[in-house]
Structure 1
Amino acid sequence: MEESTTVKLAKGLALQIKKQKTAKSLMVTLTLNSQEKCLLHWGVSNGPKAAWQLPPEAAWPPDTNAVSLAAVQTAFTVQKTKSRIQLKFPAARDFSSLSFVLFFPDEDRWDNNNGKNYCIKLPLAGESLFSPTEVLRKELSDRQVLFRQTYHLAGTELAAAVILSGEHYLIKLYSDITGRLALHWGINKKSRYEWLLPPEHLRPRGTITVDDKAAQSDFIQIDGLNQLQLEWPADEAVQGLTFVLHQLDTGQWFKPERNFFIPVKNPPLADTALATTELAEIADQIIQVETGGNSWTLMHRFNLAHDLLDRIGTDSQGLALLFVWLRFSAIRQLDWQRKYNTQPRELTHAQQRLTMKLAECYRHNTQAGRELIRLILSTVGRGGEGGRGQRIRDDILQIMHRHKIKEVTGHFMEEWHQKLHNNATPDDIVICEAYLAFLRSNGQLDIFYKTLAEGGISKERLETFERPIVTAPDFVPYIKNGLIADFEKYLQLLKSIYSATDLFSAAEAAGHCLDDQLRDRLWRFYNDRDNMNITVMDQVRSLTNLRHGLIDRLHTNPDTRCLRDLLYLDLALEEFLRLVIERRTKDFSQADLVELLDSVLDNLIINHDDESLSSCFHHWRRLRESDQSEREWVLHAGSVLDRVTEALGGFIDYYHALLQAKAEHLGQAFQADEWTVDLFSQEVIRGSSAYVLSTLLRRLAPILRAAAQLGSWQVISPGEVSGKVEAAELSAVQARVFKKP
């Protein structure tokens, strides 16, 4: 058996390495494409990183001299235009590699492979002369190869390929790991991070079932290599194969940093969702911790997000990935608690670290990055300083003691208290709101569960907490009013920590960052938020002015805490803008809509740097100041609406391109509900000022068309036509061919 490879050296030189194996010996011939004087400085070893040993003297060619206790030197022999050395080793020996460097004495130059030394594997008796990669390369000649990869594992190799052969997929595996080798494997249907038990008819003969997720198939030793082939019908092929290798004689397991994955039917989603290797590695790290069986909570998630920000920096693609991940968490598609209890103060501290880090990132980021950081903040509550997290535990106990509610099992309040004590989360805002609704309705349980459902919590979710809530609340009439007063305050505490857009909490937290005038305007606006005597237009006008004041304050480069609290206040004001307009949209006149469109455009460009939208805003503002009674004004306004619609479409397309592929990549790996994945970017837009703008456009456009007497149809290409008008039943003419109009 013979194998030959060539190594490229510096200065255009090349070294051919030929190995010839017989039952008793291994011959290695080194041929240099030069007549230049050269010395082979060499030793033997048991791998690329193993210590050199002095070769046995029987293997020394002529003109070989020992130069140390671990190395010898042999001169190349010139033969015509080349020079050559031949080494002969016995088949039975205690080393498996030839390690060497080259020395060119005329130039006083060493070639040591950039400090790594050269290393040639010397197959032992029973081992293949050819590497798994070389065997696979020959096997794949003239085949339709869908995937090919070589994995390097502690001095050994695994070469893998997927081939489409007629109506079947063939998965071929070759390894030079010695001894008995087994494939410990499962299949993936939706995500590469699944591990599902393969159906029996897709398993090779002799496969055993390890558990409900994995099978084990033994490799076969042929010509010194371990080999295994899986064959799957094309119409039954799954997304891929996940596995590790098990050396049965030693019990050693082989795998890279994560499990091996071979895509079979579908290419990896990361090719389109993730722009760089770094981004793909971050996504893999997120998916591993979210889908593994490890202990995991919101606290761990926020701590990881904090650490990943150092790697992401100002990369908008990385920030978008971070937002997609944390939004899946915020909409309850990821575990909030798994095999770990988190005290409230620990979670609030993790929130505080993350939000302060995000604020600091905002300070040094691009405009695109700042927009994404605002989105990330919207998925994470502000957290707590000064013992606010501890108050979650303390205050619920004080309420129970104040109203003489006993800490005994089998009661709603005690079960909720235990959950709060061990793992308070944003779910507790909804539970508190539901309990208040229950109290105000004089104990109607249907109101309690309806309020929970509206907040995204089912009765089943309550019962599956690690500290479950399985008992319905009790209604005690004589303590109703006291409980309502106490739990209204408790709700505000929860919102101040876990809610990103609660206006009262945000205003209270950011108050120290505002001057007296802006602070007074803010609280006046808050106190009048439900005043029906104030028009929506006045409210929106005041809100817009407040947001401009906040942006001016942000530009003064405040300290990090102020920066964070101002951002949360801005998020809360933007959310209020959306709510106040959406709940009154049907009541607006043309004049109202014209003014509101101005304000909403103004709000949208506060945070989104878009030249088209900015141009539309200034055009609309100039148009508003002219006489609106003329038909020409209506036509002019209609043309601006068309521009706004086009610019809004660009805004929506931008976020869809930025977020949707990442949502599909992560969502499928998380096994998130299908609708949360399919509608991901759409739901993000729905929660922004852009959706409010879209709503106003849909209301105003038909009003303007009617005022301009344009009718419901828009003429795209005017022209004259003539022909015969005929009224007929479709069934009577559907087979006719009309030769004239």
Structure 2
Amino acid sequence: MELSTPKDKTIPDELVQIQAYIRWEKAGKPNFSPEQQLREFEEAKKELLSELNKGASIDEIRKKITKGEIKTKVAKQLQDKKYFRVDKIQRKTRDLVQLVNQYKSQPIEETYTAKPKALTEFEKFAKIKEEQDGDDVINKIIYKLGDKDLLVLVTKNSSKTKVYLATDLQQPVTLHWGLSRTNAGEWMTPPPDVLPPGSVSLSQAAETQFIFNDDGSTLKVQYLEILIEEDGFVGMPFVLQSSGNWIKNKGSNFYVAFAIQPKKVRKVTEGGKGTAKSLLDNIAELESEAEKSFMHRFNIAADLVDQAKDAGELGLAGILVWMRFMATRQLIWNKNYNVKPREISKAQDRLTDLLENIYASHPQYRELLRMIMSTVGRGGEGDVGQRIRDEILVIQRNNDCKGGMMEEWHQKLHNNTSPDDVVICQALIDYINSDFDIGVYWKTLNENGITKERLLSYDRAIHSEPNFRGDQKNGLLRDLGNYMRTLKAVHSGADLESAVQNCLGYRSEGQGFMVGVQINPISGLPSELPGLLQFVLENIEIKNVEPLLEGLLEARQELRPLLLKPRDRLRDLLFLDIALDSAVRTAVERGYEELNTAGPEKIMYFITLVLENLALSSDDNEDLIYCLKGWDLALNLTRSKNDHWALYAKSVLDRTRLALANKGEAYHRILQPSAEYLGSLLGVDQWAVDIFTEEIIRSGSASSLSSLLNRLDPVLRTTANLGSWQIISPVEAVGYVVVVDELLAVQNKSYEKPTILVANRVKGEEEIPDGTVAVLTPDMPDVLSHVSVRARNGKVCFATCFDSSILSDLQVKEGKLIRLKPTSADIVYSEVKEDEVQDASSTNENDAAPSAVTLVRKHFSGKYAIVSEEFTSELVGAKSRNISYLKGKVPSWVGIPTSVALPFGVFEEVLSDESNKAVAEKVHDLKIKLGAGESSALKEIRKTVLQLAAPPQLVLELKSKMKSSGMPWPGDEGEERWEQAWMAIKKVWASKWNERAYFSTRKVKLDHDYLCMAVLVQEIINADYAFVIHTTNPSSGDSSEIYAEVVKGLGETLVGAYPGRALSFICKKNDLDTPKVLGYPSKPIGLFIRRSIIFRSDSNGEDLEGYAGAGLYDSVPMDEEEKVVLDYTTDPLIVDDNFRKSILSSIARAGNAIEELYGSPQDIEGVIRDGKVYVVQTRPQM
């Protein structure tokens, strides 16, 4: 709105408006109400009147406050009637799927190795010369001169130093050279007794002609020998002259040192496993040359780029690690070498040109290349935003101030740097300059609007006051002064501003000795881009950051098509995109404050913005894009007040967390081994190596996104009444707390005392260790995963804790004795006394002890294959018999797949066949090793079983039974297809010796030799959805309620160790038309398959009384499943209420019908195809 201000006889309205605008800008351009606007005008007038009262004239005031473009800005605001308000840009509607990149580089060990190359004629000549000399070689370098070479060989004998130079250049060459006494940049005229015959002395140099050899060899070289008897020289600078041209070393002087370069003591990490080792070894060898200057480092990096590219992902990771060690000052930047800025610039341009070329031609490496370019930057000092994080660590280390206020500020800077940091930095400088007067520190803070309360309000609060020693003064003033420039560069947008200018063009007139600069605008930019960039620069310091974030992201979207293919000045566009990306991160961190009082809708909107930013910077972003679509749908549900908005948003949040975890793990796999290996070679500080990948992750949008998710999670859990716990197995327990990183690492352990395990990671496939009474974890294994079933069957309390503060409290109680009391949605825990353990253990003794379980050995019946009508307990397990029993008894609308089986004893018969004699002998020997306690023999047995040959009679019988049952015979598609089927059968048999199954049978003292494996053969139904039903709710034990989980695609993602949650629901048996959704799916992957056959394990050890053997052994499809990244926003099960209700009701009805058929609770697996329910197996619910 336009505001008419009260007339003032002394101060013109125009100046009041300008002063008010200046105040508004300084405040961060907040959106003021009309009342606040009036107050701002009054304050502006008071400030100007105060200036008048101090003796300033109106003209002086006008001159002071109307600098630059301020008048134009104020006039535009008044014209647009948008005074004291930031206009938002209009974002385009885009098809998010068009943003998907599916560039995946394979996570492989180093496939590239430096091949021993054949020596060139010149290299052979150099080798012979080195061997002939006989003296100690101090230095040997071969420089490339286009397609020719230059050898420099320095040897030492007694006190004499000999420099031998040779080149295969064909034109006469003159050496222009000098000597250095102190450093590499020094030129001195060589003493007369050192000059070879025919040399000419000049000022600070000499010139000597090379001599052509005439020894009759095929290689024509010209050479020169210089003998130096004096010991006081450290090296020799030189250049060459030939045919009127000066020949230099990539734009700088050649230099050869006369001393052996000291090598750093190296503590090498495990042989460089998981790295491009040969490249990293090269980097380490060249570091002593690279540390001379940025020019040397960038030129060496440019020389190594091809080797890195050939080594693939790990090669470029090696370059990134090296450049980041440089940017974080872990490596020497300059060592006794003076270099002109333009020489550094030329070397840096050469490196970034090469990186730009790979970016254009190898899209799968773009994310790594962006990080390398960001680290190198335009001046070799890296991305300014990242330098904020890096340099505070250096300041603390250099000045011995790692605790107190400086550590608290460091944590704030790492978490959310903001313009406040400029003020804090200035306050520290003022405090030190005043000889540590703490009043001066607070005066600077308070004058700039920072109170003690504000310092305490940060996510990482600053509680302490600075307290430095006198001997720290000079170092801190120097380092904080430099740091101030970095802070201002980010928070005033200087880094972004230069990137914008490089793309849009600018002209700077020369002044004095400085030459003028003219940068032409890049051609072919989208018409909207310049306006967006101008909007961004004008609002870079805005307090309410939402309009700025929208502008930054719209600019990145407009820029994106230009970055996808080679084009003129691609590098400038890349640096602009990197600067925009960095500005998003900084703006979001600044915006945390306004989210403190925001509702869930605003936090969700911020999440979409940050997730969009991360997706735009990621190579393999399909999962991120589908998460982004999920958040858009969640926002629409929230705005339309849908009852399920919080439940659905929670599923998208869980999926986004998984995507971030996957990204973090990928970074760690790709970067950390290289950081550790190269760090050990270069003697980098251990702390810098340890946090390397963590700092890389924190420097991107992933860290901001994770912080936003943590803000939203408790809101959603409260709104959807999800509580702090998900209880998978509700058992009261008393035990001693033991904290472990992952359950897998302790699954074979046996605890003597009752133990409550607090495990950071639980995948779902693990065994629960003996002696464990409870497993508590922040991880989210499926309720129906193996470990969940084990926990319920073993009467072990098992629960997921979503509250980090509760989890931290439990971890602090390590070693203490506590009692867990689960309720329907919570776990109450408390410390107890030692004497209560005996009571608890005696109470649970009967429950916990396994029943006496025995196996009956099965024998070969004489049949290699049988049809379902022949299934009996002597021939097949419960899985096959249950499917046979269901046929013809279930309602007609429930489908049962056709089945045949390889009965018990077939494996043993095949193993005893004469054709498999060698395999049988090897299995026998390995079983003896296994009996002696060598658990590594399990893997060897599995590999050996896969070598079995199929007896011809087995093939004939299986073919006959499958065809007579109407099933397709794989061999009809060719011998190769039968071989695939045979391999799948052998994998099922081999799973008898998987670790989980073997240790499980030992735990309940079953004789593993008595375990027999039938194989149930079924045609795979190409499922739209798969489900598992428990006809009694396993969490509550309520027999009147069915519990089920549903996934998209095949059921392996449900029962296997695939991350994420399935859609879960309950349904009352007396109201099967009203299913209630408990949670929406967060599994990112669905499995799909062509028409195929599955071979299911069916042992005599499954579903025994007191022993849950189901799920221990493998079911193997003949064909590989295709992994598909899922988009739930187009899935009718999620977006169509009627369709979902129909499908879930059908699943519940099928479960109820099967339970009625058996008369007992059932654990049922099945699939949905075109709306029809198929049941593929059922067994008693454990």
Give the alignment's TM-score, normalised by structure 2.
Answer: 0.31
